[in-house]
Amino acid sequence: MSSDKPAARIVSMDQFRGYTVAGMFLVNFVGSYAVVKKFLPAIPHGDGYFAYADSIMPSFMFCAGFSYRLTALRRFPQLGTTAATWSYIRRSLALVGISLVIFGLGKSFEHWNDMTAETVSNWLWELIKADLWEVLSIIGVSQILLLPVINRSFLVRLAAAVGLFVAYILMNYSFDYNFQEGKENWMNDFFGADNRRSWDGGFFGPIAWSIPILAGTMVYDVVSTRPLQKSMASFLIVGTVLMLAGYGVSCLTRLYDRVEGTASAKVEDEHANDPVWPAAERWTNPGIGWAEPPFFAKADTKLRQHNFWMMKKRIMAPSYILFSIGFALFLYALFIRAADIRGLQAGVFRTLGQNPLAAYIIHELVMHCIKPVVPKDSEWWWVAASFTAFFAITWGTLKYMENHKLYLRL
């Protein structure tokens, strides 16, 4: 028999976190294989449109927001502001360190003589600009960025999310789009690795990734204080609105279509010179149109110059931020219905959701072991069998840890 009040432990959050971890296992393992790209093109990361893989990392950040808010509400009163702040800084730097241990320091040097002042300096700048920014590092730096507001009211955090969203757009207009894409920009006068592309927003990406984390903190507030049915209904509505807004913003990408018989068709550069603020003539030639629908259509980037409005995870486009948060919110509402209201739980999601840091580390280690014997052009049955073995080993390890109450906490 279900209650319409939140439980002391919100089961839907564990279940949704577990689903997100399972989704991470799937896309990280199978997303690079030719057979998956051919027959299941909506699963691997999209190129200018939103694919299933693009929904996972924002949902993971969304879940990080749940935990961040929950622990902050306990830790700040218990430890005091100064001690709690330093505990989060230490935790966040530990996450960055773990990320470096898992993924390395980027570029390697084959010979001692290769290590000159210039090459070492370039290696360091490439690490800071691009190679550092894996999931754990992004979470760690984003948490530090959000420390001033994590213990503040709902409205303060909402205002912070809006402010970060606007600031990120203005930064990309000023320099960051070209900075991320390795093109000429004024930031290069102060920063190295001029021609190096970054991903997931690069050095300034935590500004954008902080927004889904903040969304998670606000969702925690709502679920922990309001009736479940009302929370679910609110999330379904807000999630739908954000997805529609994200898709609407993505339609600006059609301004950058190459139109036969016009100057835009002759431009050789794949990136527009006006990627963030479209030039006036783009509004009439070619004009705005419908963008590729999320999950179902691949953007034809050969017929369109790359720009800031494509629904791209790599550059953390505004359309991507809005749609991914909306999708996570809508999907989480369904988990409230299933787990909190109807009492339904999946054991595999419970196991994965209660130990996400361990799951992340272990799945990377198991992938490094199995993927070398799974060529990129493998037959579908070998990809399926290899993924099954990978998932079973990873889940089995985490199940053992659950049974023995071994949880990785920072």
Measured CA distances, 111 to 107, 124, 140, 223, 292 (Å): 13, 17, 33, 56, 47
List the pLDDT tens digit at each of the 410 positions of the chain: 344 444 457 899 999 999 999 999 999 999 999 999 888 888 888 777 899 999 999 999 999 999 999 999 999 999 999 999 999 999 999 999 999 999 988 888 889 998 998 889 889 999 999 999 999 999 999 999 999 999 999 999 999 999 999 999 999 999 999 999 989 899 888 887 788 899 899 999 999 999 999 999 999 999 999 999 999 999 999 999 999 999 999 999 999 998 765 555 556 678 889 999 999 888 887 778 899 899 887 777 778 889 999 999 999 999 999 999 999 999 999 999 999 999 999 999 999 999 999 999 999 999 999 999 999 999 999 999 999 999 999 999 999 999 999 988 76
Cβ pair 407, 358 in contact under 8 A = yes
Residue type, position 49, single letter: Y
What are the boundaries of each domain within the chain? 11-403
Q: Which of 77, 393, 66 has the alpha carbon at shortest distance from 224?
A: 66
Measured CA distances, 67 to 97, 306, 353 (Å): 20, 36, 11
Measured CA distances, 118 to 121, 192, 198, 351 (Å): 5, 10, 20, 48
Query: What is the rounded distance in angstroms from the CA atom of residue 268 to the CA atom of residue 376?
Result: 31
Question: What pairs with residue 271 in β-bridges?
Answer: 306
Phi and psi at residue 128, to the nearest 5°? -70, -40
CA–chain centroid gap for 211, Å, is 10
Within 10 angstroms of residue 267's Cβ, the number of other Cβ atoms is 14
